[in-house]
Amino acid sequence: KAGVTQTPRYLIKTRGQQVTLSCSPISGHRSVSWYQQTPGQGLQFLFEYFSETQRNKGNFPGRFSGRQFSNSRSEMNVSTLELGDSALYLCASSWPGVAENQETQYFGPGTRLLVL
Amino acid sequence: GEDVEQSLFLSVREGDSSVINCTYTDSSSTYLYWYKQEPGAGLQLLTYIFSNMDMKQDQRLTVLLNKKDKHLSLRIADTQTGDSAIYFCAETTFGGYSTLTFGKGTMLLVSP
């Protein structure tokens, strides 16, 4: 099976712009989660989608949003970019996972966003 | 809230065993994971352990779980230079909608 894919891999934006990141989960997986990784804060959970519904959301401002399509592909959007949004954005897919652990998450390579 | 703590750095020589430690606070944690991240890459799932287990072995990897002390460790036998990376401990709760809480990561440096 192909792994989780994320596009684009690298992105440079300026403050105030908006950005859309895309994630294609492992074939058959229905849950997609997004995480932000920064040197200062580490890995932080953004949100999780399952069957096109957001089931869980982390502690991020409303500028961060996402959606999931009927084919389980997901996008996340960040509006009015700030310098502090520079990070590696990781997507993970799961469910169903291995029989004994349906929620095992498999990560993509990430999208590295630089905000100037 | 949940918290996961790890030591930040570990240096070993090639061929030695490495032990990376992790503590967590959420007593309802169901699954505990170890992920590996190489420079410029995403997270690679190494192994996981269910909270009702004490130990899990997978080739060179051994995971030990002390649920009473909320302590998790990852032992890498015969450590190789290719094992140099950042290792993340993470926990989740069953039915927690696939939300992982991560530690800050332990940088493992393996010297020849």
- pLDDT tens for chain B, 112 residues: list them: 568 999 999 999 999 999 999 999 887 778 899 999 999 899 999 999 988 889 999 999 999 999 999 999 999 999 999 999 999 999 987 666 668 999 999 999 999 9
B105 CB neighbours in chain A (<8 A) are 42
Interface contact B42-A109, CB threshold 8 A: yes
* Rg, Å, chain B Cα set: 13
Chain A residues with CB under 8 Å of B38 CB are none
- Look at B41 and A33 and tell me if their CB atoms are within 8 Å: no
A24/A91 Cα distance (integer angstroms): 9
Look at residue B82 and give its three-state secondary structure.
helix
The Cα of B13 is separated from the nearest Cα of chain A by a number of Å equal to 26
Residue B30 pLDDT: 81
β-pair partners for B12: B110
User: Given this model, what pLDDT does residue A81 score?
Assistant: 98
For residue A82, the model assigns a pLDDT of 98
Cα distances (angstroms) measured from residue B49 to each of A26, A110, B30, B53? 22, 25, 9, 7
Contact yes or no for A107 and B99 at CB 8 A? no
Using a CB–CB cut-off of 8 Å, the residues of A that contact B are: 4, 6, 31, 33, 35, 42-43, 45, 48, 50, 55-56, 58, 90, 92, 94-95, 100-101, 103-110
* pLDDT for residue B97: 66
Test the A interface: residue of B6, B49, B89, B98 with most A CBs within 10 Å: B98
From residue A49, alpha-carbon distances to A15, A112, B43, B108, B111 in Å are 27, 21, 19, 33, 42
Q: Mean pLDDT in runs of 10 for chain A (116 residues)?
A: 93 98 94 95 94 93 97 97 98 74 87 98
**pLDDT for position B27:** 78
| Token pair 């970019």: residue | A81
Chain A and chain B share a number of CB contacts under 8 A equal to 65
Report chain A residues whose CB lies below 8 A from the CB of B97: 31, 48, 50, 55-56
Q: Which of A42, A48, A109 sits opposite B105 (nearest CB)?
A: A42
User: pLDDT, tens digit, for every residue of A26-52?
Assistant: 998 999 999 999 999 999 999 999 999
